Amino acid sequence: MRLCAWYLYGEKHRGYALNPVANFHLQNGSVMWRINWMADTSPRGIAASCGMMVNYRYFLEDTASNSAAYLGTTQIKASEQVLSLVSQFQQNSKL
């Protein structure tokens, strides 16, 4: 889950999220809300994402400012759960 959080939050292409689904939701002003372990146990889900799924949450009053922040400064809004996983990855990674 730490690696998944890093991939979604930290891996970038030209400053934006490398994952196209993440990029779509973040451009539209969502918050990277939660990473779910074994949320998709179908053969395709296991093969594509080791069964993990991500929830993106839209706070309607914040979507415009979140979108502008992401598009203007590539700042990703994320929940404490996601940020904690990213921090754990960074502390333990040799990358």
pLDDT of residue 93: 85
Structure pTM? 0.91
For residue 5, how far is the Cα from the chain centroid?
6
pLDDT of residue 79: 98
Domain assignments of the chain as residue spans, ordered by start: 1-91
For 44-75, how does the pLDDT look when each residue is reduced to its tens digit (9 = 90+)? 999 999 999 999 999 999 999 999 999 999 99
Whether pLDDT at 94 is above 90: no
State the sign of the Cα–Cα–Cα–Cα dihedral 41, 47, 50, 52.
negative
Whole-number mean pLDDT of the chain? 96
Three-class DSSP category at 24: helix
For 16-47, how does the pLDDT look when each residue is reduced to its tens digit (9 = 90+)? 999 999 999 999 999 999 999 999 999 999 99
Whether pLDDT at 95 is above 80: no
pLDDT of residue 27: 98
Q: Environment class of residue 77 by beta-carbon count within 10 Å: exposed (0-12), middle (13-18) or buried (19+)?
A: buried
pLDDT of residue 81: 98
Contacts 24+ apart (CB under 8 A), 49-53: 49/4, 50/4, 52/1, 52/4
Q: Is 74 left (phi over 0), alpha (psi -120 to 50) or beta?
A: left
